[in-house]
Amino acid sequence: IWNACGRSARRPPQSRRKPEPLLLHIVARGRIGRGAEAELVDRYLKRIGWPVRLTELPDLGGRVPPRDPDGVTVALDERGQSLSSVELARTLERWRDAGRRECRFLLGAADGHGDAERTGADLLLAFGRATWPHLLARAMLAEQLFRATSILANHPYHREG
C-alpha cells in the first residue's frame, strides 16, 4: 500500500485491531418503575464500558425490537446453564471477537418464556437453581454484565478466589 508521498504505509495486523464492542441489549418484560431496583439497575448499566440498551415491554404483547442478524440471544431461564462470572465474560468475549454485533438478553414475565423463545435462544442462562423475582433478576443481570466487562478490561472490580 502506498501513501500520497510514495512511501509504503502499513496497516496494523488483524490480530492487533481492537474488536468492535458488542451491544448488550436487555429486553425485559414488565416495567421497573422508579424503585430501589431501578436505581440499582441504572447504577450498573451506567458503569458498563460497552454499548448498552434496555427495552421494556409489557407483561403481554408489545413489539419486540427486530433481532440483529449478526446477534446472539440469551434467555434467562431457571432451567438454563449456571455460568461463573468469568465463564460469562469469556462467552461475551468469544461472541465479540467472532464479530457478533448484539447480545440480546431476554427476561421473561412472571410466567417465564414460551417454548419458542427458549428454542430460539443461543444460550439459556440461569442465576442458580432458585427462582428470582423479575426485578431482582434484572439487577443481577446488570451487575453480572458490568462484572463481565470489567473482567475483560482487567479492571480490579472482580476478585476471584
Over its length of 161 residues, how does the chain's per-residue pLDDT go in tens digits? 555 666 656 655 555 667 788 999 999 988 887 888 889 999 999 999 999 999 999 888 888 898 899 999 999 998 899 999 999 999 999 999 999 999 999 998 877 888 888 889 999 999 988 888 888 899 999 999 999 999 999 877 766 65
Q: Residue 115, Cβ neighbours under 10 Å: how many? A: 7
Residue 112's pLDDT is: 81
The Cα 58–Cα 48 span in angstroms is 26
Can you give the pLDDT at residue 61? 83
pLDDT of amino acid 84: 94
**CA-CA distance, 157 to 103, in Å (whole number)?**
22
**Rounded CA separation 33/22 (Å):** 27
pLDDT at residue 10 in the model:
60
pLDDT of residue 33: 78
> Can you give the pLDDT at residue 144?
96
Confidence (pLDDT) at 63: 86
This prediction's pTM = 0.84
Query: How far is 52 from 57, CA to CA, in rounded Å?
Result: 17
Looking at residue 147, what is its pLDDT? 95
